[in-house]
C-alpha cells in the first residue's frame, strides 16, 4: 500500500480544475456554471490544504476556510440573482439573458 502524497492531491485538484473550467466555458445553464465555479474553488482548497500539510504550516488551512466563506457567499448571491432573473425572464440559459447588453 502506497501512502497518499502531495502529488496525489495536486492531480485531484488539477482534475477538478479542468472539469470546472470546461463546465464554465461550455455550459449554458447558469446553475451548472455556478456548480462549475464551486468545483474550481474546491480545487483551490485542495491545493491550499495539501501544501499546508506538506510544509507543516496551518496558513493554507486558514486560507481554505476563507475560500469556503467566499464560496458560500458567491453561491448565495448567485442563486439570488438567478431566482430574480428566472422570475423576470423565465429562463436559466446564460445566452438567452440579454439584461446586461447595451
Distance from C-alpha of 78 to C-alpha of 82, rounded to nearest angstrom: 6
Q: What pLDDT does residue 88 have?
A: 85
- Say if residues 69 and 83 touch (Cβ distance below 8 Å): no
pLDDT band at 90 (very low <50, low <70, confident <90, very high): confident
Sorted by where each starts, the structural domains of the chain and their CATH numbers stand as 6-96 (1.10.287.3510)
Q: What pLDDT does residue 1 have?
A: 87
Nearest to 15 by CA among 40, 32, 48: 40
Question: pTM to 2 decimals?
Answer: 0.88
Q: What stretches of the chain adopt beta strand conformation (E)? A: none
DSSP one-letter code for 90: S
Residue with cell 497518499: 4
Amino acid at each position: 500500500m502506497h501512502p497518499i502524497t502531495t502529488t496525489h492531491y495536486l492531480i485531484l485538484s488539477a482534475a477538478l480544475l479542468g472539469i470546472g473550467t470546461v463546465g464554465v466555458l461550455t455550459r449554458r445553464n447558469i446553475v451548472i456554471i455556478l456548480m462549475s465555479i464551486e468545483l474550481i474553488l474546491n480545487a483551490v482548497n485542495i491545493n491550499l490544504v495539501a501544501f499546508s500539510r506538506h510544509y507543516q504550516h496551518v496558513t493554507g488551512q486558514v486560507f481554505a476556510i476563507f475560500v469556503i466563506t467566499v464560496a458560500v457567499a458567491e453561491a448565495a448571491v448567485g442563486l439570488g440573482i438567478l431566482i430574480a432573473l428566472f422570475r423576470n425572464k423565465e429562463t436559466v440559459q446564460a445566452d438567452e439573458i440579454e439584461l446586461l447588453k447595451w
